[in-house]
Structure 1
Amino acid sequence: MSRRPVVAAALLWTAGYVLAFSVQWDWLSVYISLFLGIAAIGLWFTRVPGRTAMCCLLIIMISAGYYEDYDRHNQTKLSISVEAAEKQKEIPYGLDGLITTRVDVDGDKASFTVRSDRDEGELFAVSIKLLSKEEQYTAQTWQRGDHVGLTGTLQLPGEARNFDGFDYRSFLRFKHVHWQLTVKGANQVKIVPSNSWTWDIVMRWNDQFREMLGEGIGRIFPAEQTGFMKSMLIGVTDDMDPLQFQQFSQLGLTHILAVSGLNVAIFLTCLLWLMRRLRFTRETYLLTAITLMPFYIAVTGASPSIIRAGLMAMLALYAAYRHTLKDGLHTVLLVGLGMLIWEPYFMLDVSFQLSFLVTIGLIIGVPPVNSLLPIRSTVWRNAVSITLVAQCVSFPVSIYYFNQFSLLSFLANFFLVPIFSMVTMPGGTAALILGFAYVPAGKAVAWIIAQINGWIFDLVDMSSRWDWFQTIWPTPGIGWIVCYYASCTAFVWFLLQKKRKKNEHQGPMLSLNLTRKSIQALRIQNAASIVGLPICILSLLLLLGLGYKPELWKREGQVDFIDVGQGDSIIITTPQNRRVILVDGGGTISFRKPGDEWKQRKDSYEVGRKLLVPLLKKRGIQRIDYLIVTHQDADHIGGLQAVLEQIPVSKLIFNGTFKPGIGVEKLFQTALDKQVKLVKAFAGDRLQADSETVLSMLAPVPWDAAGGLRLEKEQNEESVVFMMEMSGTRWLFTGDMDQASETAVLRMLEADWNLIIPPVPSAASANINFAAPNVQRKITMTTIATNIDVLKVAHHGSKTSSSTAWLDSWKPRLAVISVGLLNSYGHPNPQVLSRLEERDVSILRTDRNGEVQMRVKDGKIQVRTKLIRNEDHALN
């Protein structure tokens, strides 16, 4: 600790934050921290045994107290209680304050943050629904620093409604925002421009300067590359193509799209080179670079990663100016410690974590890895070691947040990052500067850069389509991450020991007088190094295997009713072989009319890409064995497009019809392009998912399946309905079937149409197996028992389904209704709820309970919900 105090202090301070965040002791406070600080100072100047360890522990507790006190004071100043806001949902509210962020106008929505004139400067996230194109033009004139008066409805930010889901309430809280204000129409907004000298006005000028740079980029670069160049050069990601971002993300290249240390290094290199060419003295160009760095940080967006890189650069430049530049590790940890003291919530920011971890990893790891690589060329050896260390260090954090890793990531970073750093970034910057001086000259340089970008985009697009190189990882635990870093460190250490001994054997023999004890120690050390390397490799492989398939030996089924709003999506995982069945994928319904094109947002919310796919990845679902599309309405298939694009699917089971529409056509075309087997399912088909899970299809009724697809615009009555038996439990999944379909199914059962095919020899031979969309099925004539444990209520609880006869026939014990919160349809219908309650059926609803998870083992169903009734209970 005394040798490297900055390193020790930074690590201990971070450990204190982690402790406070994990444990949350109420007795910790800043006063406790002050007391412990005095105790630590006094202890350090004594000669008590173990004082170093005791001081380390005190520093951790001081840090924990500081974080706990900071977090405790991050509370709303409004007199409205959270409980009252939860009950009332939307509260009429008038707000006067100052706009503190850039006004983002996207389609028919304008959003920004306002600091209130009262309530101790409470911050509000404001969202304005724009009612006309004229209002959109008006909103584009609003700026940071304007004084604003608003009238709207106040509500708490939405919390996570699914397990492992994105929690918007926590996201805003870590930005010190506790309330959302929703305003309908720009006529409820009164703007008073402010020209007084405030920090917000200074930031407004920065916004205007960034906007001017963005317009300059748009003038010289092709429209399809403008968003990419804005993101790379000035950190403006608003115009970035979502598909292109996804492709870069799949290859592990998102750091290229975020302004970070690479940009700072290139900026400084170009700046220093230019000033040297202009014959500036060493002291002058170093001080000039230090002065310009804060402006560069502000212009590029001031994200945690760019702040880290900029502050490190300023410290390094100052140290060079004073001729004291020595230790990069001290510099980065000193900057990190300062940032954490200034804003403790930086610890939770993924860009902060990745930026510091990779930088520290490069400082510590590149020299030893360099010495191990058998590459003679210094340039190539440095390039390989930097890429290798960066990949290894960032891997656990990347899979923790993004749950994916491409096996092509190393090659993509090795070959493409130098092109972006040595060509695209400096060339794009030069084109931008030339474009302001003389547009044709800027366009000429931009054309060259655009051609290079185009070739790279084609390569990225092609590589991202190779699904077999994409791996999906469930979110690992902190313990796994610690073990991973420890194993990697041990692996490199053992390799260094092995190389050192090899060099010793090749060197001149020295005559040493060794004692018996010294010889024994050398033998033990040699044996440990010989055995240690294989053990280290095996432990690392075991860790990776456990991280990739943590539930491989789990022997319980699971059914998750995902809250996708007004729609259905159900994930079924079988107890044997962990087969995955996804039933529907939710979807966002659009009611846009001709002439409403101005309402279209740049990156509109899409439930598959924004909600369903991230959830599937976080849960480690690497392949979907059966994708069941109950019918083709938008609220059931809209999210499946993203699923097919990002997660491998073996078979797609559907009702054998085709609903005309662009979305449906694109979905099936994607399935064909991905070589997914299309399967028509009808009453009488049976799917043996594993030895404990059988799906028996009850609807739609059979028709000429040997023919082509039948066009069917009205899909509800064609819903795929099936009963599932899993580990001694019975489930009924109903899609959006109506009462006519219910009656048809009941009549078939009454006529002794048994839709359960007799058991087959093995699960492998029992799978629906066909090379073409046609299905081979058998129908035998016996009766089935109709008591079930869980009923998925049809059509979100609509009055058109769940008839009295249907409920009396199946006698469910528990009903799940997948329905959107505050939906405009009035679902679920009170009559349906009444019919269920009259039969003593327990009801769970996604609008009230959020996601509903059920675990199945030995004939028992364990239930838990994300919201409200969140306690576990069992169906025996």
Structure 2
Amino acid sequence: MKRPVVQGCCLWISGYVLAIYTELPWLSWTTSALLVAALAAIYVLRLPGRQPLGALLLVVIAYGYYQGTDQRNITALPLAQQQQVGEAGSEVTLLGRFASPVTIDGDRASFTLEAESVRFNETTAFPLGGESVQVSLRLMEQAQQAVASAWGRGDALTLTGTLRSPSPARNFGGFDYRRYLRLHHTHWLLSAKGVDQAQVQPAAAHFSVVQLLRWNDELRAALSRRMDVIFPASQAGFMKSMLIGLTDDLDPDRFQQFSELGLTHILAISGLNIAVFLGVCIWVLRRFRMAKETYLLICMCLLPFYVLVTGASPSIVRAGLMSMIALYAARRGGMKEVLHILAVAAWAMLVWEPYFLLDVSFQLSFLVTLGLILGVQRVTHLLSPFLTSPTLRNTLAITLVSQAVSFPVSIYYFNQFSLLSWLANAVLVPVISMIVFPAGLVALALGLLYIPLGQRLGLLISWLNEAIFWITDQLQQIPYLKMIWPSPSIPWIYFYYGFLILIYVLWHRIHVSATDEPPIMLDRSSGKNAKKRNVQLSLLLTIGGFLILLWIGYTPNRFQRTGVVQFIDVGQGDAILIRTPYGKHLLIDGGGTLSFRKAGEEWKNRKDPFEVGQKTLVPLLKKRGIHRLEMVVLTHEDADHSGGLQAVIEQIPVKQFLFNGTFKESTSVTTLFSTLVQKEVPLLPAQVADWIHIDPLTRLQVIYPLETNQTEVEIVKEQNARSVVFLLEMQGTRWLFTGDMEKESEAAVLAYLQDHPGLIASDRNSWYTARGAAATKDSSSNPYIDVLKVAHHGSKTSTTLEWLAYWNPAVAVISVGAMNTYGHPSPEIIDHLMNAKAGIFRTDRMGEVQMEVRKEGIFTRMKLAY
């Protein structure tokens, strides 16, 4: 058997994959242990057919090992108490120890608690056995930042707060925080207010694993503080991320820019850092004339500490393990097969933590490394007829291989790809890896010895960084080269790698034939030339199939002829995405995060605060493959409707922007309109006019505001009463979108429609004919709509009985935040809707609500069961 370790690792991963997508409850750690004994017996007894049988058993053993781990990943809290806590939360007191350093960001301190017990209002305490709990402590005064910063890993803690279950994904394809925490063996969140809720007892100073990790935390914090002094403030976060893996101070905009250009691996500690670190160590030790065995042993001992100092992410752990194995092999003259070393590292990590397989850092690190091992030398050889420079040939091969191998995983998680990514990597990676990173290490070392010396070198590095940032700024501004990809399916990814391998094999055969090497297969009937033509034809067909695959992956819903209205859950706000039957996309509002900061509370501001547009809405739009928005409708300019649109406008092309024709004086709204003007997006003040046709089956009609000043923009502070209200007809269905309109606005619209009966009912008879049996309500008295978006999140300031009686909706959707402090939706409005016999859908209880228009009618699905 060739490469048994590699094959065994692949079989082990196959078992994990089967366990992830299927479930066999009878397979567990116990059955895996029994099968390990059986596997050993098969090989000891040298039974016939042991290799295929052993391979099958290894897959089943891995299946049971993963499932056994997953079955034990549960909370120790009794079921009755779990039900008492739920997502609403319950007041408790936790006793335990800090299991992570404390991170201070504005008015929030966050850390992981290793909980020993939990006490509810009763006197009984329930043991948790060291279960991890994620804690968020709100700081009430600026002085509390210093108090929380003094806490460290291993300190005993008694903390009173609200314990709750993490929220699952509330939108289709959205980030699942509950699943994320579970994969990190965490099942509960605790939120508390003020350090006075915490009683902390410093840990005793004695050598232990916890104390070692605490020293590592303190070392990382000390290095971070020193780098703040060495490097300019605007670049300190960038250098921290690159040198020691600290991303807390990294500029979010810079990270977004590097992400769009496919350069995030530069900001992640990985094999490059290990290689430079080992190179420096070996160079220094050899200057002391140490024997090879000695300095290799010293480097092996230093690597674990370097991995810890740089954060021990899966990518750096992989690189560290591989380097330690390679150093050991070089010292003993043993295993030198790089694939074996990679397989041993992967196997060891997956046995230690099976959930690593689901970590994007683990996946990309091993995939790219595998691709570089298998592909660079071969691709370099294939490029030799076209490029004479060995350096250029090798650089291009590394870039092409890493880009091709990482592409499907990157778009699966990040949903974007720049056509300039290969150029950015080819130009910037050598500069950063060969100059900036080593020089940064030297500057840090010198700064630890003598700060002014480190600062001088840090200044030189900052000039080079400024040049790098200028290049990335220019590359990012080139239009039409940033592509948004929907998350591909798992079969699509398999086909992608299959086509990639087949293209390489066929290209290699043509190249071998062109160099007059012996043919791979002897074709006596047609000879060598005919064989070459067949291979060339096969290559062309394979490339064609590969391009079709990419085309399908880029627009998987190209031929879908159904309209979909998606009421996205953005908390207390509105964000509605519409896909028309011809693939046009409209976005109504963008949600937003309300801020209640007062003057003098700037210390509460966070470095990377949660913003609905950036953290929720834009990722969802990208994941669904929204390449362009045909129209964005801003019903009004309150923050819970307009705030998230800033990120949308910045990252997704918009054809036109419809708004209420007014302006609300605020920093965020000013920035939004400035960005729209800068990007040359047409601004359309809403007005009652003719129908706006979106595609052959979709059109919309503005019915409020009734009059818009076309010559100048009016400044309006209170925006609810000026909300854009419009009727949408799509594929024989009618939808009414109301923003946050109020009772007075509703009365004005009803009066206007009674005076202008032909405005929205010009083809009413034909519409009812098209609807047929689906139009079950009385169509002779009032207009009929299929779906009403209830105004102002169900507030009692709108949705009057007269409004409902006029429109006679079949279904009502309320976009409202879970556990909001406003009491929305009002019980009175719920009663109105029930009396109108309208079906009610609510995002606070159901999460995202999607309604698909088919020939048979409207089909609805909800993210959360209710």
Contact residue 632 and residue 664 of structure 1 kept, 8 A: yes
Partner of 1:388: 400
Which residue type is aligned with residue 327 of structure 2? L
Partner of 2:340: 330
Contact residue 170 and residue 864 of structure 2 kept, 8 A: yes
**Aligned-partner SS, 1:180:** strand
Partner of 2:306: 296
Which residue type is aligned with residue 149 of structure 2? Q
Partner of 2:409: 397
**Aligned-partner SS, 2:427:** helix
Deviation (angstroms), 1:48? 7.2
Partner of 1:692: 697
Q: Relative to structure 1, is the Cα distance of residues 345 and 699 closer, same or farther in structure 2, using a 3 angstrom cutoff?
A: same
Deviation (angstroms), 1:47? 7.8
**Aligned-partner SS, 2:537:** helix
Which residue type is aligned with residue 745 of structure 2? S
Deviation (angstroms), 1:840? 1.6
State yes or no: 1:633 paired with 2:649. Answer: no
CA deviation vs aligned residue, 1:680-707 (integer Å, no higher than 9, x gap): 11123421111111111110112332x0
Contact residue 29 and residue 69 of structure 1 kept, 8 A: yes
Q: 1:480 aligns with which of 492, 512, 522?
A: 492
Structure 1 alignment gaps of length 5 or more: 760-782, 870-876
Partner of 1:774: none
Partner of 2:585: 580
Deviation (angstroms), 1:43? 4.4
Q: Relative to structure 1, is the Cα distance of residues 607 and 668 closer, same or farther in structure 2, using a 3 angstrom cutoff?
A: same
Contact residue 85 and residue 155 of structure 1 kept, 8 A: no
Deviation (angstroms), 1:187? 0.6
Q: 1:135 aligns with which of 127, 135, 144?
A: 144
Contact residue 165 and residue 187 of structure 2 kept, 8 A: yes
* Larger mean Cα displacement after TM superposition, 148-157 or 496-505: 496-505
1:496-515 to 2 correspondences below 5 Å: 496-504=508-516
Q: 1:550 aligns with which of 556, 560, 568?
A: 556
Structure 2 alignment gaps of length 5 or more: 117-126, 764-779
State yes or no: 1:656 paired with 2:653. Answer: no
Over the residues paired in the alignment, what is the CA RMSD in angstroms? 2.0
Partner of 1:156: 165
Partner of 1:788: 785
Which residue type is aligned with residue 257 of structure 1? L
Partner of 1:98: 97
Deviation (angstroms), 1:739? 0.6
1:363-382 to 2 correspondences below 5 Å: 363-373=373-383, 374-382=386-394
State yes or no: 1:89 paired with 2:99. Answer: no
Partner of 1:459: 471
CA deviation vs aligned residue, 1:586-631 (integer Å, no higher than 9, x gap): 0000000011111111110000000000000000001001000001
- Cα distance in structure 2, aligned partners of 1:256 and 1:822: 41
Q: 1:218 aligns with which of 202, 223, 228?
A: 228
Partner of 1:766: none
- Cα distance in structure 2, aligned partners of 1:147 and 1:422: 44
Q: How many residues align?
A: 837
Contact residue 372 and residue 496 of structure 1 kept, 8 A: yes
CA deviation vs aligned residue, 1:35-94 (integer Å, no higher than 9, x gap): 333443444567877653333222111110110011000000011448614657211111
**Aligned-partner SS, 2:343:** helix
Which residue type is aligned with residue 481 of structure 2? F
Partner of 1:234: 244
Contact residue 728 and residue 859 of structure 1 kept, 8 A: no
**Aligned-partner SS, 1:153:** strand
Deviation (angstroms), 1:821? 0.9
Q: Relative to structure 1, is the Cα distance of residues 480 and 390 closer, same or farther in structure 2, using a 3 angstrom cutoff?
A: same
- Cα distance in structure 1, aligned partners of 2:466 and 2:64: 52
Deviation (angstroms), 1:524? 8.1
Partner of 1:645: 650
Partner of 1:55: 54
Q: 1:611 aligns with which of 588, 610, 616?
A: 616
Partner of 1:770: none
Partner of 1:119: 128
Contact residue 86 and residue 165 of structure 2 kept, 8 A: no
Contact residue 697 and residue 755 of structure 1 kept, 8 A: no
- Cα distance in structure 2, aligned partners of 1:180 and 1:546: 41
Deviation (angstroms), 1:331? 0.3
**Aligned-partner SS, 1:290:** helix
Q: 1:166 aligns with which of 145, 166, 175?
A: 175
**Aligned-partner SS, 2:282:** helix
Contact residue 686 and residue 708 of structure 2 kept, 8 A: no
Instruction: Give TM-score, length-normalised by structure 2.
Output: 0.94
State yes or no: 1:837 paired with 2:822. Answer: no
Q: Relative to structure 1, is the Cα distance of residues 324 and 45 closer, same or farther in structure 2, using a 3 angstrom cutoff?
A: closer
Deviation (angstroms), 1:639? 0.3
- Cα distance in structure 1, aligned partners of 2:494 and 2:48: 30
- Cα distance in structure 2, aligned partners of 1:572 and 1:530: 45
Partner of 2:122: none
- Cα distance in structure 2, aligned partners of 1:109 and 1:819: 26
Partner of 2:770: none
Deviation (angstroms), 1:785? 5.3
Partner of 1:275: 285
Which residue type is aligned with residue 259 of structure 1? I
* Larger mean Cα displacement after TM superposition, 309-318 or 683-692: 683-692
- Cα distance in structure 2, aligned partners of 1:855 and 1:729: 11
Partner of 2:777: none
Q: 1:852 aligns with which of 843, 849, 858?
A: 849
Deviation (angstroms), 1:376? 2.2
Partner of 1:532: 538
Partner of 1:708: 712
Contact residue 727 and residue 859 of structure 1 kept, 8 A: no
**Aligned-partner SS, 1:863:** strand
Deviation (angstroms), 1:711? 1.2
Which residue type is aligned with residue 841 of structure 2? L
1:819-830 to 2 correspondences below 5 Å: 819-830=816-827
CA deviation vs aligned residue, 1:188-232 (integer Å, no higher than 9, x gap): 100000124332221111011011111111111110001001111
Deviation (angstroms), 1:439? 1.5
Deviation (angstroms), 1:323? 2.3
Q: Relative to structure 1, is the Cα distance of residues 755 and 54 closer, same or farther in structure 2, using a 3 angstrom cutoff?
A: farther
- Cα distance in structure 2, aligned partners of 1:756 and 1:836: 23
Which residue type is aligned with residue 535 of structure 2? S
State yes or no: 1:69 paired with 2:75. Answer: no
Which residue type is aligned with residue 587 of structure 2? L
**Aligned-partner SS, 1:405:** strand
Deviation (angstroms), 1:504? 1.6
Deviation (angstroms), 1:526? 4.3
Question: Identity of aligned pairs, percent?
Answer: 49
Partner of 1:874: none
Partner of 2:124: none
